[in-house]
């Protein structure tokens, strides 16, 4: 077996283990409640050791948000790699859509936090994730503007507003979906329609170009 084949097999095994832990945790959370489910029980249900569990997740809480950090990171990467010029929010929206379409093309999309399972501390963790993403987006917008409009006086204001509008559009979309009780993203058509509408509202607040 070639080195590349071994690497591919290893990555698939890691993905399968991660998926098994997520699936086991959600079944246990639904059956006996979040508070009464232990890491040991989740590990046993997924047929792995607790040591293996902690290679994939820092805590039980992380299983309620298994894909959000990765999703935001991929969107930021695509946004950063997009060509300069045009409306920043439009480019960001396109980046979000591209990642969503990629996920659906693989046969699914990230699980959402289970309705009713929102322990103390999770809201703060989600807030930190979005805040970190917001700062990263602002840095990207700042770089885009600097390359196309050098010398702009209100660079910090423009980059900050664009980033916050983008985060608001994304959060609004996910919050609306979560409020319906869904545990996964809805079909592509509905997911994209909600995303586009959220960004449309954000863009209507002003035309900001970079």
Q: Is 155 within the bounds of a domain?
A: yes
| Statement to judge: residues 137 and 192 lie in one domain | yes
- What is the total count of domains within the chain? 2
Partners of 184 in the beta sheet? 111
Q: Residue 65 pLDDT > 80, yes or no?
A: no
Question: Is 99 within 8 Å of 121 (Cβ atoms)?
Answer: no
Identity of the highest mean pLDDT range in 116-120, 153-157, 177-181: 153-157
| Statement to judge: residues 88 and 35 lie in one domain | no
Alpha helices in 46-154 (DSSP H): 50-56, 68-81, 88-105, 122-148
| Statement to judge: residues 81 and 143 lie in one domain | yes
> What is the per-residue pLDDT across 66-83, written as a single tens digit (0 to 9) for each?
677 778 888 999 999 988
Q: What are phi and psi of 168, to 5 degrees?
A: -60, -40
Cβ-Cβ contacts under 8 Å for 97 (sequence gap 6 or more): 192, 195, 196
Dihedral angle of Cα 93, 95, 97, 103, to the nearest 10 degrees: -150
Residues across the chain: 210
Q: Residue 112 pLDDT > 80, yes or no?
A: no
Q: Is 127 within the bounds of a domain?
A: yes
pLDDT value for 109: 56
| Statement to judge: residues 99 and 22 lie in one domain | no
How many other CB atoms are there within 10 angstroms of residue 173's CB atom?
A: 22
> What is the per-residue pLDDT across 24-44, written as a single tens digit (0 to 9) for each?
988 888 788 778 899 999 999
> What is the per-residue pLDDT across 47-63, written as a single tens digit (0 to 9) for each?
999 999 999 888 887 78
Mean pLDDT of all residues belonging to the chain: 82
| Statement to judge: residues 90 and 48 lie in one domain | no
Cβ-Cβ contacts under 8 Å for 62 (sequence gap 6 or more): none
Q: Is 209 within the bounds of a domain?
A: no
| Statement to judge: residues 16 and 80 lie in one domain | no
Tokens found for residue 124? 């703060």
Q: What is the CATH classification number for the domain harbouring 16?
A: 1.10.10.60
| Statement to judge: residues 9 and 112 lie in one domain | no
**Which domain, by its residues, includes 144?**
68-204
Structural element, H or E, at residue 12: helix 3-32
């Amino acid at each position: 077996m070639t080195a590349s084949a071994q690497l591919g097999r290893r990555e698939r095994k890691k993905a399968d283990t991660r998926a098994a832990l997520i699936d086991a945790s959600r079944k246990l959370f639904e059956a006996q409640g979040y508070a009464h489910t232990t890491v040991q029980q989740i590990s046993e249900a997924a047929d792995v050791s607790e040591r293996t569990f902690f290679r994939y997740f820092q805590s039980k809480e992380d299983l309620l948000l298994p894909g959000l950090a990765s999703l935001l990171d991929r969107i930021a990467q695509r946004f950063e790699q997009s060509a300069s010029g045009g409306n920043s929010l439009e480019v960001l929206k396109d980046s979000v859509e591209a990642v969503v379409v990629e996920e659906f093309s693989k046969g699914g999309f990230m699980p959402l936090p289970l309705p009713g399972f929102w322990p103390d501390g999770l809201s703060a963790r989600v807030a930190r994730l979005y805040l970190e993403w917001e700062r990263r987006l602002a840095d990207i917008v700042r770089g885009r503007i600097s390359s196309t409009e050098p010398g702009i006086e209100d660079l910090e204001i423009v980059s900050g507003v664009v980033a916050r509008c983008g985060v608001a559009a994304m959060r609004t979309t996910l919050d609306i979906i979560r409020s319906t009780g869904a545990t996964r993203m809805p079909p592509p058509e509905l997911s994209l329609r909600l995303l586009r509408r959220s960004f449309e509202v954000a863009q209507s607040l002003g035309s900001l170009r970079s």
